[in-house]
């Protein structure tokens, strides 16, 4: 199967191809080949370092969508034990685009809620590419209520391009399902730790995307609208998405600056998919630290602070 | 994206502006064409019928202030939280600069942002009422709209009032990026707090209501009404059509279709909205804050001194 190559990594991919071709040659018969390979390898690393030290917002969006990037279920597999997956919304269906489970992180019993993207096309078709239907949000809300009733902290993983915009999604109340998640999540009497691992697309991400801590991976994004859709509206041209991505202030760093995110988890050169276990390990440490700090607070204080946190977001001038 | 669809559809259309609102009043005597039945109407005639076409029942758009005036007891409205203005936090200049859109919207509407809120009574019931004005950047929700809506719910909770929101919106205001998206969570959280305080919230969805506003405070009401013909949804019709790659069924996302799908309680004509909202408030307002049924003119069912 052909490797997935991001647009901006094309020069890197070309070098790596050359390198692979050289490696297939008989080194013993051409002594200078080894030196050439070593030089090329150094060049690849230099180029990668250069590319990743200056990633544009649009390039980060591409990294966040990389098919090899660790997904919700990968973090669950790396970090959690005793997993009991919670399936279905008890009203209509089990939406594969949303993952919910009882799980244990280093002895901490929690409820996990995450957008469920796959790595392969087959997985993604079954999971609607991680874009939940109303029943997916109702499944998430069911998990939130369960967490609330039994005092289990909630850990969410954001990775969606957005809520599914189909005919039946509308007819079954997509807006209602999302709004109910927002209302419920604002009022659960347990700590809520949110991790942006990939895409944070609009209302579909927000439905499980706010709480007491927001941890963002370095190349994850979170945005009010996709850069492509924004470009379509502003310029009637989706190809101008790079400009829109920059204008929307959607990177982890932007969110940290605006006081929406609390911390950013650095990614290895080339993105989280190059060292998924290392990244997952670090994410696990950050979640555990946040959970431990939040568990010190009583639930009234927790709720009050969550509300104040939300109310503090917004920029305007007030005159009287 | 809803905003896009709606701006497109709106090109070349005019707003109804009634006299008495203090904004850009059209002179009485202007003739206009009903977009639905295509009949020529006398502006004065349209206004006398709450901007509803007397021939086909088409509901013309109304500015926020007129919507509030049509709903609350005459003279009871007092604006709250005035003087909030967007600071263009992202210095958003892709496409049309946000600062100039804001300036233009302020000039044409005489408002400082898309939401107007205040205290009022409806048939004597104390409420905080809010309305969104579609002329102001598609009544999209940015920091100011979100702040006003949240404060409206908070004031109602503090003062033991009900909340009535008249909602039209293209969705979140993308020019404020994530600050705008987070207003969805903020307004939903404020509505949830009101709900937990045992106070009622009624929303009236009018044409058009889409995106992040539908998916937050608009549909969290205890009772949801909608105006006849209002288009309401999360994703705009064009996006849905592109997604499913076939044409949409007739009546898709209309108020009537939402009622039949169980998403709203009732399609209420503009002329009846005040009495319907008042009736609901009569049922849901806490006993110590409610106006007794028929307080004005109906004899009490219990004899004097009986328990009420
Ligand atoms: Zn007509």
What distance in angstroms lies between residue B262's CA and the mean position of ligand 1's atoms? 28
Does any CB of chain B come closer than 8 Å to the CB of residue A315? yes
Report yes or no: A142 and A101 within 8 Å, Cβ to Cβ.
no
| Rounded Cα gap, residues B242 and A19, in angstroms | 43
Question: Furthest-apart CA pair in chain A: how many Å?
Answer: 84
Find, in chain B, the residue whose alpha carbon is nearest to that of A319.
Answer: B83
Weakest-pLDDT range from A144-153, B43-52, B205-214 = B43-52
Q: Indicate the angle between helix axes A227-235 and A57-64, nearest 10 degrees.
A: 130
Contact A224/B178, CB-based, under 8 Å? yes
Weakest-pLDDT range from A19-23, B158-162, B267-271, B300-304 = B300-304
Predicted local confidence at residue B15, as pLDDT:
43
Chain B, residues 215-234, CB within 8 A of chain A, namely 215-220, 233-234
Contacts of A316 in chain B (CB under 8 A): 84-87, 143-144, 147
| Rounded Cα gap, residues A181 and A139, in angstroms | 10
The pLDDT confidence band at residue B303, using thresholds 50, 70 and 90, is very low
The pLDDT confidence band at residue A306, using thresholds 50, 70 and 90, is very high
The pLDDT confidence band at residue B295, using thresholds 50, 70 and 90, is low
Chain A, residues 145-164, CB within 8 A of chain B, namely 163-164
List of residues 6+ apart from A151 with CB closer than 8 A: A189, A190
Nearest to B233 among A170, A247, A306 (CB): A170
Q: Where are the domains of chain B?
A: 12-60, 64-289
Contacts of B186 in chain A (CB under 8 A): 310-311, 313-314
Report yes or no: B155 and B114 within 8 Å, Cβ to Cβ.
no
| A28/chain B closest Cα distance in angstroms | 57
| Rounded Cα gap, residues B57 and B230, in angstroms | 12
Is the pLDDT score of B293 beyond 60? no
Architecture of domain A61-311: Alpha-Beta Complex (3.90)
Q: Write the CA distances from A313 to A42, A214, B150, B300, integer angstroms.
A: 45, 13, 12, 50
| Rounded Cα gap, residues A78 and A76, in angstroms | 6
| Bridge partners for B167 per DSSP | B205
* Torsion angle of the four alpha carbons A198, A203, A209, A212, in this order, in degrees rounded to the nearest 10: 150
Percentage with pLDDT > 90 across chain A: 89
| Bridge partners for B117 per DSSP | B130
Predicted local confidence at residue A114, as pLDDT:
98
The pLDDT confidence band at residue A62, using thresholds 50, 70 and 90, is very high
pLDDT: which is higher, A34 or A172? A172
Q: Where are the domains of chain A?
A: 8-54, 61-311
pLDDT tens column, A192-209: 999 999 999 999 999 999
Q: pTM for the whole thing?
A: 0.92
Q: What are phi and psi of B303, to 5 degrees?
A: -65, 155
Does any CB of chain B come closer than 8 Å to the CB of residue A170? yes
Nearest to A136 by CA among A209, A204, A200: A204
List of residues 6+ apart from A208 with CB closer than 8 A: A113, A114, A115, A140, A156, A158, A181, A185, A194
Superfamily of domain B64-289: 2-enoyl-CoA Hydratase; Chain A, domain 1 (3.90.226.10)
Predicted local confidence at residue B3, as pLDDT:
52
Nearest to B188 among A182, A229, A233 (CB): A182
Cα B301–chain centre separation:
37
| Bridge partners for B86 per DSSP | A316
Compute the average pLDDT of residues A17-29. Answer: 80
Contact B176/A224, CB-based, under 8 Å? yes
Tell me what the pLDDT averaged over chain B comes to: 88
Compute the average pLDDT of residues A122-151. Answer: 98
% helix, strand, coil for chain A, step of 5: 50, 15, 30
The pLDDT confidence band at residue B292, using thresholds 50, 70 and 90, is low
């Amino acid at each position: 199967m052909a490797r997935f190559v991001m647009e901006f990594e094309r020069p890197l991919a070309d070098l790596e191809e050359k390198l692979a071709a050289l490696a297939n040659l008989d080194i013993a018969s051409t002594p200078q080949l080894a030196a050439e390979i070593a030089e090329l390898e150094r060049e690849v690393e230099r180029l990668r370092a250069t590319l990743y030290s200056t990633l544009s917002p649009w390039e980060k969006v591409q990294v966040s969508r990389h098919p090899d990037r660790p997904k919700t279920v990968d973090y669950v597999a790396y970090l959690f034990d005793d997993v009991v997956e919670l399936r279905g919304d008890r009203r209509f269906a089990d939406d594969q685009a949303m993952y919910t489970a009882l799980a244990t992180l280093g002895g901490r019993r929690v409820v996990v809620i995450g957008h469920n993207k796959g790595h392969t096309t087959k997985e993604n078709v079954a999971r609607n590419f991680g874009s939940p239907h109303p029943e997916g949000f109702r499944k998430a809300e069911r998990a939130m209520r369960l967490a609330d009733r039994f005092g289990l902290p909630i850990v969410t993983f954001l990775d969606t391009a957005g809520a599914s915009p189909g005919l039946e999604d509308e007819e079954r109340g997509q807006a209602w399902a999302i709004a109910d998640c927002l209302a419920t999540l604002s009022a659960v009497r347990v700590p809520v730790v949110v991790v942006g691992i990939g895409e944070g697309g609009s209302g579909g991400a927000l439905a499980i995307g706010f709480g007491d801590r927001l941890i963002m991976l370095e190349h994850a994004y979170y945005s009010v609208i996709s850069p492509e859709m924004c470009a379509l509206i502003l310029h009637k041209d989706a190809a101008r998405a790079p400009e829109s991505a920059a204008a929307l202030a959607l990177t982890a760093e932007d969110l940290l600056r605006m006081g929406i995110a609390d911390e950013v988890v650095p990614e290895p050169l080339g993105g989280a998919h190059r060292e998924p276990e290392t990244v997952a390990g670090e994410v696990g440490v950050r979640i555990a630290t946040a959970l431990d700090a939040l568990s010190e607070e009583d639930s009234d204080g927790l709720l009050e602070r969550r509300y104040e946190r939300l109310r503090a977001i917004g920029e305007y001038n007030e005159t009287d | 994206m809803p905003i896009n669809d709606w701006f497109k559809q709106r090109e070349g259309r005019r707003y109804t502006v009634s006299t008495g609102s203090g904004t850009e009043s059209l002179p009485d005597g202007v003739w206009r064409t009903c977009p639905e039945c295509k009949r020529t109407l006398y502006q004065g005639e349209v206004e006398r019928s709450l901007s509803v076409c007397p021939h086909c029942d088409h509901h013309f758009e109304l500015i926020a202030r007129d919507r509030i005036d049509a709903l609350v007891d005459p003279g009871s409205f007092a604006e709250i939280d005035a003087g909030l203005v967007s600071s263009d936090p992202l210095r958003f200049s892709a496409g049309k600069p946000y600062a100039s859109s804001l300036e233009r919207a302020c000039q044409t509407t005489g408002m400082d942002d898309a939401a107007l809120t205040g205290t009022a009574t409806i048939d004597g019931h104390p409420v905080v009422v809010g309305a969104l004005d579609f002329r102001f950047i598609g009544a999209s929700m940015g920091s100011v709209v979100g702040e006003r809506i949240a404060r409206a719910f908070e004031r109602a909770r503090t003062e033991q009032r009900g909340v009535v929101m008249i909602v039209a919106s293209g969705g979140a205001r993308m020019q404020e990026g994530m600050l705008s998206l987070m207003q969805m969570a903020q307004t939903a959280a404020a509505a949830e707090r009101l709900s937990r305080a045992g106070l009622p919230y009624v929303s009236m969805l009018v044409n058009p209501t889409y995106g992040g506003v539908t998916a937050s405070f608009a549909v969290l009401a205890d009772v949801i009404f909608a105006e006849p013909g209002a288009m309401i949804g999360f994703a705009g019709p064009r996006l849905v059509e592109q997604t499913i790659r076939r044409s949409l069924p007739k009546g898709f996302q209309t108020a009537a279709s939402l009622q039949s799908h169980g998403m709203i309680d009732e399609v209420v004509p503009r002329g009846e909205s005040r009495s319907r909202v008042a009736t609901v408030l009569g049922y849901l307002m806490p006993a110590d804050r409610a106006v007794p049924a028929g307080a004005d003119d109906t004899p009490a069912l219990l004899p004097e001194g009986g328990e009420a």
